[in-house]
A and B are shown apart, each in its own frame.
Chain A
């Protein structure tokens, strides 16, 4: 049986766990613990290890989704998770512009690990204060060919669209090489 892996990364409280939960066929395996530092004002519990979701295509093929830990102090795990990935999704909370700088840094770090296709998902587009994806592209200084997609992590169709767009990007990468 062949297994392939995709990584869902992004700043703290961007909605990575919810994104994986929405599409995974199994209850997402994650190590959620109460946190006691200042970040607890943003979220009551956060991912201190990682999220793990699964999509079984058939008997021969399984897709695993890994969510990276949201807090900076666990970034040592990012490189381990990035190894052998098919591609990665950078999830951003579109309503919290104070996290855009961190998102930019995460994108740069992941691109330095592996020259792998990726897309940016501008989450929480259902909220009034959300920055439009095209504006996020400009402030993140992303190249025109990087897809910045609108996303609502709790909506299955939206998550499917993001995953499909990443897969289309991966398909296109065969033609460019």
Chain B
């Protein structure tokens, strides 16, 4: 049976929990405003993920800096048809990468896709049992627990980030007199990319789109830059950045949030026997059996 529905009714956290507990094998497809995610599972573990059809090994190795472009080009020219397994073997044999580089890139990509999808508030989903991943992909089984837990923590952090930077339709500019010693600030590749787009004519939302960053990533990067006094919101800022604060520890750890929770506290123990004679119940059973 295919499971269908919408994320606004059943969250991805719940679906992943279902896949894990029921040890499901198959493909979960989610279609939302931000694209199409395909997640493949085998016996409750995620084995492959793609966002808008990405997920080929060549792109992942480049994205995560595990291979140089010319090395990749050399090997790709020798392949008649795109096949990740073949590509990986040739790259290893050529001494360009190790097996661990491949595992790292695939695991990181899978985790990124799931985390991105976990931030979606709506979208149609469809689970097709026993549908295998595309044959040209390398499958790496990954336990869902850690990804779901990270997704849960991200959602909590995202709520804080939204509070600190409520509006993404504002532009940024470099501060005239940075308050911190710039030499002490270390910036990642994504952070540099954001910086390269900072211009009073570009809104934060536009920068995110150009840089291929999701809401969580862009908010985190912009707030880091603001906290370090590197950039400021142009015009009237809609939210006052606050000093960095540590995420609450232990809150909800191991217990993914549930969209179905009603907030009530139903009894979890077995119900009490009714105030009728046991014999009455037996008579009802006997009668209904004979209907």
Contact = CB atoms under 8 A, between A and B. Distances in A.
Q: How large, as a class, is the contact surface on chain B? A: 35 or more
A35 interface: no
Q: How large, as a class, is the contact surface on chain A? A: 35 or more
B279 to A, nearest CB: 10
A116 interface: yes
Interface string B74-85: 000000000000
A160 interface: yes
B274 A117 contact: yes
B267 A115 contact: yes
Interface in B258-291: 258-262, 264-268, 270-274, 276, 278, 280-285, 287-289, 291
B274 A170 contact: yes
A97 B9 contact: yes
B5 interface: yes
B260 A176 contact: no
A97 B10 contact: yes
Contacts of B276: 2, 4, 86
B68 interface: no
A111 interface: yes
A58 B282 CA distance: 13
A101 B9 contact: yes
B272 A108 contact: no
Contact of B285 (A87, A107, A168): A168
SS of B interface (majority): loop
A76 interface: no
A171 B261 CA distance: 30
A143 B209 CA distance: 44
B9 A129 contact: no
B21 interface: yes
Contact of B260 (A112, A130, A141, A143): A141
B1 interface: yes
Nearest to B2: A129
User: Which 5 pairs from chain A and chain B are nearest by CB?
Assistant: A97-B5, A111-B266, A105-B262, A108-B264, A173-B273
Interface of A: 2, 4, 23, 55, 57-58, 61, 63, 85-87, 97-98, 100-101, 104-105, 107-109, 111-112, 115-118, 128-132, 134-135, 138-141, 143, 145, 156, 160, 163-164, 167-168, 170-171, 173-174, 176-177
Interface of B: 1-6, 9-10, 14, 17-18, 21-22, 258-262, 264-268, 270-274, 276, 278, 280-285, 287-289, 291
19 contacts: A2-B276, A55-B291, A57-B287, A85-B274, A97-B6, A97-B10, A101-B9, A112-B265, A115-B271, A116-B272, A138-B17, A138-B18, A138-B22, A140-B260, A156-B291, A160-B289, A160-B291, A164-B288, A171-B285
